[in-house]
Amino acid sequence: MADRKQLEDLATKLPVYIPAVESGWQMLGCILADDCRIHSERFFRGGHNALLPFVMFLSKHVQPSGEDRRGIIQGIYLAIMSGVFSGAEARMGAFARNKVAASKQFPLHELIALVKREYGIKSLDDLLRRHLDLALNIAHGGITLDRNPEDLQRDHVFPKSQLEKQGYPYEVVNHYANFHFLRGVDNLNKLDKPPDDWFKNPGRDVSPYSDRDLDERLLTWDDLQPGHFKSMIDKRGQEAVQLFGIEEAEFDALLADNQPQR
């Protein structure tokens, strides 16, 4: 009977909170699309629980400050890429209740501490490597190809087999900056062509990649030239990090073991 009474009391109070929660979801949708540049369910990997702490905060802070908005953007990437709340409702609920509910600022440092404790992530590079699709979405500046990212495939910019023959180690060959999204029909035609050739001639009845196509991928024709693999990785990786909204050294400092807890 006590449980039933609690449920009845909750049911009478719930309508009061619905407008604020709806507002929080709407604001989060804008941040996901405009700031995080996430336009597809694909990138959540079933981890929609990861978004609930952000909805709670935004439902209580209708006009977040610039600093809070920046922290929310970084926190969204941190939560989704790490998977810290995916399939972990108890952990998500505890964080929302204990860290978010009464906080005047979004508790980014507390989220960082949680991710470090659970997964040992100590750098932005560690984080980006945990979720290749979302890292690649950042490297694309927000993939919009065909407005249907679920059907897109990913493949190496510089062919894997050729790089392995040149002696590059696994982690360099498969660095997130050496991938891009492409249509399945394009991928079937890719084979081991060098990128300076393939992007101009991706196959029969397939249009060559345009300057705009490359720009969406944070690539230039110069990046695709023979011998430019390493410089392409460095340049594209740095540009992707900038789209993340924070300098790599700054984010690494947040993840450092000597970072003071708040």
Tens of pLDDT, residue by residue over 171-198, are 899 988 898 887 665 655 566 889 999 8
- Verify that 139 and 220 share a domain, yes or no: yes
Q: Are residues 17 and 112 in the same domain?
A: yes
In a domain, 256, yes or no: no
Could you tell me which residue, 194 or 202, shows the higher pLDDT? 194
Both 96 and 181 in one domain: the answer is no
Residues 165, 68, single domain; the answer is no
Structural domain contains residue 165: yes
Write the CB contacts of 262 (distance below 8 Å, at least 6 apart in sequence): 107, 109, 110
Determine the average pLDDT of the residues in 69-78: 89
pLDDT digits over 78-135, tens only? Answer: 898 888 888 788 899 999 999 999 899 999 999 999 998 988 888 888 888 888 888 8
* 137 and 216, same domain (yes or no): yes
Residue 192 lies in a domain: yes
Contact residues for 212 (Cβ-Cβ < 8 A; gap 6+)? none
Residue 68's pLDDT is: 87
Together in a domain, 70 and 152: no
Does residue 20 share a domain with residue 82?
yes
Strands 179-182 and 153-156, sheet pairing: antiparallel
- Domain-located, residue 251: no
Q: b/e for 49-83, b at 16 or more Cβ within 10 A?
A: bbbbbbbbbbbbbeebeeebbbbbbbbbbbbbbbb
Phi and psi (nearest 5°) for 169? -70, 165
pTM for the whole structure: 0.74
**Predicted local distance difference test score (pLDDT) of residue 246:** 67
Final residue before a domain boundary, out of 99, 121, 143 = 121
Residue (of 157, 220, 147, 144) closest to 186 by Cα position? 157
Residue 255 lies in a domain: no
pLDDT value of position 34: 84
In a domain, 89, yes or no: yes
Q: Are residues 84 and 147 in the same domain?
A: no
| Residue 241 contacts residue 248 (beta carbons within 8 Å) | yes
Number of domains into which the chain is organized? 2
pLDDT value at 164 more than 50:
yes
Last residue within a domain, chosen from 121, 153, 168: 121
SS3 label, residue 107: coil
Residues of the domain holding 28: 2-121
Domain boundary residue among 93, 121, 149? Answer: 121
Same domain for 150 and 233: yes
Q: Taking residues 11-16, report their average pLDDT.
A: 71
Whether residue 101 is found in the same domain as residue 142: no
- Distance set, CA 260 to CA 76, 142, 199 (Å): 21, 33, 47
